[in-house]
Amino acid sequence: MGIYEKNPIWDDVIPIAQDDGEGALAQIAYTDEYAEAMGYLRAVMASKEYSPRVLELTEHIITLNAAHYTVWLYRANTLFALSSSVPEELAFVNEIALENQKNYQIWHHRQLLIDYLYPSISSSPESIKALADSERSFLTQMFDEDAKNYHVWSYRQYLVVKLDMFNEAELKSIEELIRKDVRNNSAWSYRFFLVFSDPKYSTKGLRANEFDEKIPKVIVDREIDYAKAATYKAPQNQSSWNYLKGVVRKGGVKMESLEEFAEDFVNLGDDVDGKGEDVRSSHALDFLADIWAEKGEWEKADKALQLLGDKYDTIRKNYWDWRRVLLKELKG
């Protein structure tokens, strides 16, 4: 006899068994515990019951299978129908999330909770800040486990918009993640979103790589300096170079203004035989190719691309050869 069958609280419910249809090719071998719990869930869903016992049932099923989207959704509907405590539910979700790092369903459920809670605190800056601080603290825990978890980063983008977390505290939090791992491309991408999507000074609707005349020069200069400092620490880190390119485009800065910086990592040596050639970063060489093309120094740009394909990034030789073709077309 199962735990629900022998529990008098559930005497009024007739469980609905799983129906895979006739001739099912691959029936899933559920455990008896899971099969029984799901049978009772199907029954309460059929009768549209939203009650405390349903919350207990869904919690049990989630501990058995945290990836069951339907269970999470019905749990959310039950929580809202009962006007249950969102902070208490977030505490429960925290435990499940830490045990199930790559689970998408948890983060969708969490988003539903924040959406439900927000109208009740929207007029209280103190309550919003408290929630933002609490969520940031938990996300830090998640990133301590896996700093590149896609689901967590996606949720963080949602959260920063929902709670208007375009602030110094959020920026410092991301700086700490980049400090721990300067090659964390997820953190760099999020920083770009955080800085250049701030509604206080950005133009809504622009693409990420599109020039925004509203971005203050002081912000652009700050981000250029930040990327440069990180690049000096790890010259072959593609993340900081890509970030620098993004900032330049977003801020409408001429790339040639960074030529001297990029040349700190590249010495092409003698023009004839390349004697003394020293390239500490293939990404710097790529950056210089763009600069020289921008300045109309076609031969230097072509040489940089050729070196990338033949010597410094041979695995992508076809790509660099294609870039050389584009360069010739640009030259005309």
Distance from chain centroid for Cα 190: 7
Query: For residue 28, what pLDDT is reported?
Result: 74
* Residue 90: band (very low, low, confident or very high) from pLDDT cuts 50, 70, 90: very high
Is residue 271 over pLDDT 90? no
Query: For residue 21, what pLDDT is reported?
Result: 65
CB neighbour list of residue 186: distance below 8 Å, 6 or more residues apart: 147, 148, 150, 153
* Residue 29: band (very low, low, confident or very high) from pLDDT cuts 50, 70, 90: confident
Tokens of 100: 């199930």
Is residue 73 over pLDDT 70? yes
CA distances from 7 to 12, 13, 42, 55, 221 (A): 10, 11, 17, 16, 66
Q: Does an H or E element contain 113, and which?
A: helix 104-121
For the residues 67-91, what does the mean pLDDT come to?
A: 97
pLDDT tens string 92-142: 999 999 999 989 999 999 999 999 999 999 999 999 999 999 999 999 999
Q: Phi first, then psi: what are they for 101, rounded to 5°?
A: -60, -40
Is residue 26 over pLDDT 70? no
Of 172, 76, 69, 80, nearest to 119 by C-alpha is 80
Q: Does an H or E element contain 267, and which?
A: strand 266-267
CB neighbour list of residue 97: distance below 8 Å, 6 or more residues apart: 103, 106, 107, 110, 142
Of 187, 227, 195, 189, nearest to 214 by C-alpha is 195
Asked whether 330 and 305 are in contact (CB, 8 A), the reply is no
Residue whose structure tokens are 């940089």: 304
The rounded radius of gyration (Å) of the Cα atoms in the chain is: 27
For the residues 26-39, what does the mean pLDDT come to?
A: 88
Query: For residue 306, what pLDDT is reported?
Result: 97
* Residue 20: band (very low, low, confident or very high) from pLDDT cuts 50, 70, 90: low
Residues in the chain: 332
pLDDT tens string 173-225: 999 999 999 999 999 999 999 999 999 999 999 999 999 999 999 999 999 99
- Give the whole-angstrom CA distance, residue 135 versus residue 111: 11
Query: For residue 19, what pLDDT is reported?
Result: 74
CB neighbour list of residue 238: distance below 8 Å, 6 or more residues apart: 185, 283
CB neighbour list of residue 131: distance below 8 Å, 6 or more residues apart: 114, 117, 121, 163
Is residue 270 over pLDDT 90? no
Residues pairing with 279 in the sheet: 266
Question: Rounded to two decimals, what is the model's pTM?
Answer: 0.91
- Give the whole-angstrom CA distance, residue 98 versus residue 142: 7
Q: Does an H or E element contain 278, and which?
A: strand 278-279
pLDDT tens string 152-171: 999 999 999 999 999 999 99
Query: For residue 276, what pLDDT is reported?
Result: 73
Query: For residue 30, what pLDDT is reported?
Result: 84
Asked whether 304 and 284 are in contact (CB, 8 A), the reply is no
Query: For residue 1, what pLDDT is reported?
Result: 77
Of 146, 145, 165, 167, nearest to 157 by C-alpha is 165
Asked whether 203 and 216 are in contact (CB, 8 A), the reply is no
- Give the whole-angstrom CA distance, residue 219 versus residue 241: 18
pLDDT tens string 274-317: 577 999 999 999 999 999 999 999 999 999 999 999 999 999 99
Burial (CB count within 10 angstroms: exposed 0-12, middle 13-18, buried 19+), residue 80: middle
